Structure 1
Amino acid sequence: MSDESPLIRSLRAAVAAAPDDVPLRLHLAELLLQAGRDDEAVSEAAVALQHAPGDADARALMGRAMGLPQEPTTPPAPAAPDPRVPGAPRPAEDPRGREDFDWAAAEQEVGGIVPPRFVDGTETPLTVDGLGDDPDGADAWDVDAPGAVRLADVGGMQEVKDRLEAAFLAPMRNPELRKLYGKSLRGGLLLYGPPGCGKTFIARAVAGELGAGFLSISLSDILDMYIGASEKNVHDIFETARAQAPCVVFLDELDALGAKRSRSHHSGLRNVVNQLLTELDGIAADSNDGVFVLAATNVPWDVDIALRRPGRLDRTLLVLPPDATAREAILRYHLRDRPIEAVDLGKLVKATEDFSGADLAHVCETAAETALLDSARTGTVRMIDTRDLMGAARQIRPSTDPWFAAARNVATFANDGGMYDDLLAYLKRKRKL
């Protein structure tokens, strides 16, 4: 806003960079209240209460911004004797019990800002086995509608896109050719590579290319303390996908969901893998048509070999750290809403080779923290520049290095069936062998 004071503008930028800092947000709310911007002060106080529901300062500021009667700050007068008990003092009146204040109206006023602390009790109650009273458990799984994210939205990584098109997408898009060559819609794709390199984003882009729903599943969604419940969850997930086909089922952290049964000491996990194998095969012929299974893992060597047999997750794709084009796109994305000036992206891209997408986000966050602290010390907001970003890049080591150190041994000495040929070629090209 053009009429804002420089201090308020500075505090807004600081709060945007550190949204969890409750005292900083309350300081901004106090200044807004002093400037007569009561509604904005209420909003900031409400966000502070979301982070710290019991904060007395936030509650007091919210009350002042809403014009509520304030409790006296002077010590209360001695309680008058209670006429019901001879010689006993009269109980002090609780200011929260005032009958002249409409608490229901106040609740409605901030209802769109502060979410309810507790549910209203209308949810389906759990039965004694913890599975709920809904006879159709598949309804509990929400499938995201076909999204707008496409492979064109993935910056760079052209080699990954080409492999996806050749090995997975082209047969799906051409039903006549698929019929001519006898290619079924069964089977899935396993994405593997260092952490933080965009495997989940690529899976969503594949769903967008296919115009399919997206159902993301992790270990915490499946495991249950009751015997047989975990296997039922796996079955319900695939039943939901079959009912809402075309649908992409994305199994995140497959090494946790489908760990090698020979190494698992917990019968529940072994049963989950067995159920997962059954669902991948399909209960009946062609029952999985229109269900596209994608999985991601950082450690494919820990995945049960049975999951990679033909008809299951029989294709693999190595997702490497973003190339120069992808790094530039990622950096632009994470700097888009931050105050920057004269940033030399080309220089920064060269300095961040082998950085994952998560590492690049960390670089931008660290540079923003540096500029924020300088602004707080000097009282003047300054922009993020190349020096801040290069300094952050020098402080951060690529998180992909430990992964390549472990993967090198596996690719060199345990490359059964040529599964890691792509990884070996990359290591030779980068002279990491």
Structure 2
Amino acid sequence: MNDPLIEALRRAVEAAPLDDELRLHLATQLWERGLSEQAVAEASTVLSHSPTDSRARDLLARALGAPAPDAASFPSPDPASRQLPDPPAPPRPEGGFDWSAAETEVGHIAQPAFVDGEGAPAFDAHDLQRPTTTLADVGGMTQVKERLNAAFLAPLKNPELRALYGKSLRGGLLMYGPPGCGKTFIARAIAGELGASFISVGISDILDRYLGESEHNVRDLFQLARRDAPTVIFLDELDAIGQRRSQARHSGMRGVVVALLEELDGVASDNEGVFVLAATNQPWDVDPALRRPGRLDRTVLVLPPDEEARRAIFRHHLARRPVEGVDLAELARSTDGYSGADIAYVCEVASENALLESARTGTARLIGMDDLRHGVAQTTSSTGPWLEAARNVVRFGDDDGTFTQLRDYLKSVRRL
């Protein structure tokens, strides 16, 4: 018997074999269609799960010898389990199967065949953050702060001068440098300095497996930023989101770059008050169109923290740990070239060393300089491989002036 409803119910039962209500409904439909043996099998399965189910027992007895019931003789539950009756099913359309009714009957198991493509936006008010960190909380990095002040802070804090010189609040800035050197922290500090909302965006927030959804996510992001301006959008790992289209192996990635270019240009809307900060460890892999004037046209090289910044990073990571006799100046001198992430790891190794010794002796002790020196000795700077790759790009790659700061730095540390 080829009955679409029976087939749908069977598939639903296979998906949820322990759903006795669904299996009992299948048994009832089988009995009404004269398939008594199959109805007995399904009702018996229900009884094996729930031996006291009176409806299954009643249906089993009827299927074993009684004729198919009319509507008035349908088995009713015992008083202890009596519930309000279900509303009457709508009449089945003439000449066809009522798919709407079938979907309603198995709706708690089967997903609908068709859904509305207009889902919830990819970004909403829950993605907005209000950072309290400011540039005063960033230790050292004087040159980076000066560049950021010229690009964003000075125009915002002096609206009269901004109007006089025709300086727009729109635009973007690309921070690049070795990994773990504080680019994300600086972006949050800028948002806090501006008193602006902050949206941090990674590749997983943008890319979608369905065609066209990634571009839709980019547009949702900028629409949210415009509604809540002033807003800082932070695009982390820009080389993944906005990679060179000539290197993109999938057409979807090229579409993301195009959508990003359109939003940066403000083709459909005004981007006044929307600040776009981007960070990357590999600026040479970013599509050149993203770095043209009016887009991410300003670049800042975020280098490994200087000595003052290293002292501040050590102080931050040791502030909540039990320490004694810590010489921040010595630690800062001995970690030249270390990234902020490297220094955090030094503190972790030192804490682990003190913890293990305390566990061996049974007496807790404070973290001292010997532990931190041990941590420095066990840690290697992670910026070396990046600087070597950057040196090759500066020496042999095409430079349109974007990497002038990088070239000067490599010369100063005698790597070029």
Normalising by structure 2, we get a TM-score of 0.70
Deviation at 1:396, TM superposition (A): 0.8
Does residue 190 in structure 1 map to residue 182 in structure 2? no
Aligned to 2:331: 348
Contact 2:171 2:276 in 1 (8 A): yes
What SS does structure 2 have at the residue aligned with 1:261? coil
Contact 2:171 2:274 in 1 (8 A): no
Give percent identity, aligned residues only: 61
Q: 1:129 to 1:308 in 2, by over 3 A?
A: farther
Does residue 273 in structure 1 map to residue 257 in structure 2? yes
Deviation at 1:412, TM superposition (A): 2.4
Contact 1:129 1:226 in 2 (8 A): no
What SS does structure 1 have at the residue aligned with 2:223? helix
Deviation at 1:139, TM superposition (A): 3.0
Q: 1:127 to 1:329 in 2, by over 3 A?
A: farther
**Which digits, 9 at most, give the CA deviation of each residue in 1:190-230, with x for residues without a partner?**
00000000001101111111111001111100111111111
Q: 1:335 aligns with which of 318, 331, 342?
A: 318
Aligned partner letter, 1:372: L
Aligned to 1:385: 368
Aligned to 2:144: 160
Aligned partner letter, 2:403: Y
1:286-365 aligned within 5 A: 287-365=270-348
What SS does structure 1 have at the residue aligned with 2:277? strand
Aligned to 2:386: 403
Cα distance in 2 for residues equivalent to 1:283 and 1:234: 13
What SS does structure 2 have at the residue aligned with 1:262? coil
Larger radius of gyration: 2
Cα distance in 1 for residues equivalent to 2:315 and 2:117: 45
Cα distance in 2 for residues equivalent to 1:175 and 1:213: 19
Deviation at 1:138, TM superposition (A): 4.6
Does residue 366 in structure 1 map to residue 349 in structure 2? yes
Deviation at 1:127, TM superposition (A): 9.6
Aligned partner letter, 2:356: L
Contact 1:245 1:291 in 2 (8 A): yes
Cα distance in 1 for residues equivalent to 2:315 and 2:325: 13
Normalising by structure 1, we get a TM-score of 0.68
What SS does structure 1 have at the residue aligned with 2:234? strand
Contact 1:127 1:133 in 2 (8 A): no
Q: 1:233 to 1:353 in 2, by over 3 A?
A: same
Deviation at 1:176, TM superposition (A): 1.9
Alignment: residue pair count: 307
Aligned to 1:282: 266
Aligned to 2:124: 139
Cα distance in 2 for residues equivalent to 1:126 and 1:355: 55
Deviation at 1:167, TM superposition (A): 2.8
Contact 2:234 2:278 in 1 (8 A): yes
Aligned partner letter, 2:342: D
1:13-412 aligned within 5 A: 133-134=119-120, 138-139=123-124, 142-145=127-130, 147-284=131-268, 287-412=270-395
Consecutive unaligned residues in structure 2, runs of 5 or more: 1-50, 52-110
**Which digits, 9 at most, give the CA deviation of each residue in 1:274-296, with x for residues without a partner?**
101111111346x1001001000
Deviation at 1:347, TM superposition (A): 1.4
